[in-house]
Structure 1
Amino acid sequence: MITWHQLLQEGKERLYQANQSDQAALLLLNELCSHRNINLYMVMDEPVNEQVQTDYLEAIHRMEKGEPLGYVLGYENFYGYDFIVNEDVLIPRPETEELTGQVLMLCDDVLEKIEHPVVFDVATGSGAIGITLSLEEPRLDVYASDISQKALEVAYINNEKLGGRVVFVQGDMLQPFVDRNMHCDVLVCNPPYIPQEEKLDHGVVDYEPNVALFGGEDGLYFYRSVFKNAHKVLNENGIMAFEMGYDQGERLSALAKQYFPEADVQVLQDISQKDRILVVRT
């Protein structure tokens, strides 16, 4: 019987040969162990648990073909919470955690003036942003939308599992809020923003929902949709915060100023010093 160390090395080698990240082999094994209360680093030279070995090698086989680790595990950790993910939703990224953190700071300012600010999470996907906001700040009243019924089913399960307080509505971007004559103080949106012709890793294109990836010819289609209708839902002195592509800052700022010439428009950088978040204070 092989040791944990040997099993890990096999996983790393197989992923490396398949041109996948060998670091994912360690993350996978560590996750499988943590759910069985096994401290991987304390048992590296001991014989492997047979069931873990089977589960691990089956998962490595899926990852060799390009399937993302989040889908293999069935969940992704986001802001300290495990969110269920499947092929109906994007796997939430670290950049989106940064957006969520920025929104929480923006909400701190709003909470000084409004006892229960209303937040719209537009194009919610797995619900990661909206649910996290509701868990981190109970005074926020959070509503979330998505055009995909299947995505909303995943978000609803996450909301129930994690004890979130999000109310979900189905529809395209802001339209379900407009239709219901709903208004918000803070609008957060991580829309599809990849230009249609941009080449992506096949592990993203082949497994993650394309409807949640591509934002038209220039990647800005869904931002235009939100900017066009935002005045119908934003309360006075409302705030909008968006995730964006690292090379979209200037174009997106200019677009925001076209629709909101009097607004304070700010581009924030992520931990890698890349433009990542657009904040519009109307």
Structure 2
Amino acid sequence: MLTALNFATSLLKEKNIPNPRSTSELFLSSILNLKRVDLYLNKEKILSDKEREKLDSFLEQRISGAPIQYITKSTGFYGLEFKTDPRAMIPRPETETLVSEVIKHFKKIKRESDALKIADIGTGSGVIAITLAFELKKSLVYATDISKDALDLASENAKINEVEKRIEYFLGNIFGPFDNRNLGNSFDCIVSNPPYVRDSDFENLDKEIKDFEPEAAFLCGDDGINFHKKIAEDGIKYLKEGGLLALEVALDDDEKLVEFLSSVLSYHNLRVVKDLAGIRRVVLGVKF
């Protein structure tokens, strides 16, 4: 085991791959179904031919630029485990701030045990919808996405985390799937991490993103809050009075979104929350 770990680390370091040791540990943990700390407790273990072939494949993929999460096909989010593959974007740690703020909101107003109705717009791999369903035990989540592949992945993740009975999936753009379903003024919360990378910034993205992740999940045209405006504007008719709107935004787009929400749409109790990196990442508001 230790020999394989050292080999993988040296190869990744030679190819200038970031974090070669921790990446090698993650690969071996995935292949052997062990926690990282347990690798060192089994350091004398010799890999089987099949395990060695899988490690070689992982290393080859990583050297080609593939993201770690697509290689191992899993990632952690808010203490839960999720399947990850190119059908949807890889969940980011900053999105945990978005989820956390929604949970805090309902705990603050002492409604975390209510049968809340939540809409997750652009669900992707499903981490937001699933985590909220897991943490808010009586909630029912309606999750939409324009990608059937993404919805299939989200559905698989819901089953992995045993919340599939409280999430409904809808194929379509933003609130389109809700048309003619008698859902007006029915949601306690609308939450979304919509696309917010400007087309003009595409070439500046890391190779891992622009060469491997689905562009429709992160590109938004020329306006970084294009989708946010649409979700907020259309969301007015779907939110209950006093319902929460929670949106993730890009760096420096929070002020423009707050201005739009307050002056154009008259949301109130607007606030912006920083993620763990200190970036103003989440905008929240309440419908009058």
TM-score w.r.t. length of structure 1? 0.91
Q: 1:235 maps to which residue?
A: 240
Shift of 1:110: 4.8
**SS of the residue aligned with 2:199?**
coil
**SS of the residue aligned with 2:236?**
helix
Using a 3 Å threshold, how does the CA distance of structure 1 residues 28 and 258 change in structure 2: closer, same or farther?
Answer: farther
Shift of 1:149: 1.0
Asked if the contact 2:225–2:249 (Cα under 8 Å) also holds between the matched residues in 1, the reply is no
Using a 3 Å threshold, how does the CA distance of structure 1 residues 64 and 262 change in structure 2: closer, same or farther?
Answer: closer
Shift of 1:212: 0.2
Q: Are 1:278 and 2:275 matched, yes or no?
A: no
Q: 1:187 maps to which residue?
A: 190
CA distance in structure 2 between the aligned counterparts of 1:264 and 1:212, rounded to whole angstroms: 29
**SS of the residue aligned with 1:7?**
helix
Q: 2:3 maps to which residue?
A: 6
CA distance in structure 1 between the aligned counterparts of 2:112 and 2:125, rounded to whole angstroms: 30
CA distance in structure 1 between the aligned counterparts of 2:230 and 2:12, rounded to whole angstroms: 41
Letter in 2 for 1:204: I
82-91 or 49-58, which deviates more: 49-58
Q: 2:91 maps to which residue?
A: 92
CA distance in structure 2 between the aligned counterparts of 1:9 and 1:105, rounded to whole angstroms: 43
Shift of 1:89: 0.4
TM-score w.r.t. length of structure 2? 0.89
CA distance in structure 2 between the aligned counterparts of 1:142 and 1:73, rounded to whole angstroms: 28
Asked if the contact 2:229–2:257 (Cα under 8 Å) also holds between the matched residues in 1, the reply is no
Can you list the C-alpha shifts for 1:186-220, whole angstroms capped at 9, x where unaligned? 11100011111112011111111000011121321
Shift of 1:78: 1.4
Q: 1:32 maps to which residue?
A: 31
Can you list the C-alpha shifts for 1:18-40, whole angstroms capped at 9, x where unaligned? 33222322222223233599920
CA distance in structure 1 between the aligned counterparts of 2:140 and 2:270, rounded to whole angstroms: 25
Q: What CA RMSD, in Å, does the superposition of the two structures yield over aligned residues?
A: 2.1
Q: 1:144 maps to which residue?
A: 143
**SS of the residue aligned with 2:241?**
strand
Asked if the contact 2:261–2:267 (Cα under 8 Å) also holds between the matched residues in 1, the reply is no
Shift of 1:111: 4.7
CA distance in structure 1 between the aligned counterparts of 2:27 and 2:36, rounded to whole angstroms: 14
Asked if the contact 1:178–1:232 (Cα under 8 Å) also holds between the matched residues in 2, the reply is no
Q: 1:174 maps to which residue?
A: 175
105-114 or 138-147, which deviates more: 105-114
Kindly, what percent of the aligned residue pairs are identical?
28
CA distance in structure 1 between the aligned counterparts of 2:27 and 2:208, rounded to whole angstroms: 17
How many correspondences in the alignment? 279
Can you list the C-alpha shifts for 1:57-89, whole angstroms capped at 9, x where unaligned? 211111110111111111222122221121110
Using a 3 Å threshold, how does the CA distance of structure 1 residues 117 and 111 change in structure 2: closer, same or farther?
Answer: farther
103-112 or 75-84, which deviates more: 103-112
Q: Are 1:250 and 2:249 matched, yes or no?
A: no
CA distance in structure 2 between the aligned counterparts of 1:91 and 1:113, rounded to whole angstroms: 28
Asked if the contact 2:29–2:35 (Cα under 8 Å) also holds between the matched residues in 1, the reply is no
189-198 or 168-177, which deviates more: 168-177
Letter in 2 for 1:181: N
Q: Structure 2, unaligned stretches of length 5 or more?
A: none
176-185 or 208-217, which deviates more: 176-185
Letter in 1 for 2:130: I
Using a 3 Å threshold, how does the CA distance of structure 1 residues 55 and 125 change in structure 2: closer, same or farther?
Answer: same
Q: Are 1:127 and 2:130 matched, yes or no?
A: no
Shift of 1:180: 2.0
Asked if the contact 1:89–1:125 (Cα under 8 Å) also holds between the matched residues in 2, the reply is yes
Q: Spell out the pairing of 1:192-211 with structure 2 (5 A cutoff).
A: 192-198=195-201, 199-211=204-216
Asked if the contact 1:196–1:215 (Cα under 8 Å) also holds between the matched residues in 2, the reply is yes
Can you list the C-alpha shifts for 1:98-124, whole angstroms capped at 9, x where unaligned? 211211111224553983121111100
Asked if the contact 2:89–2:125 (Cα under 8 Å) also holds between the matched residues in 1, the reply is yes
268-277 or 244-253, which deviates more: 244-253
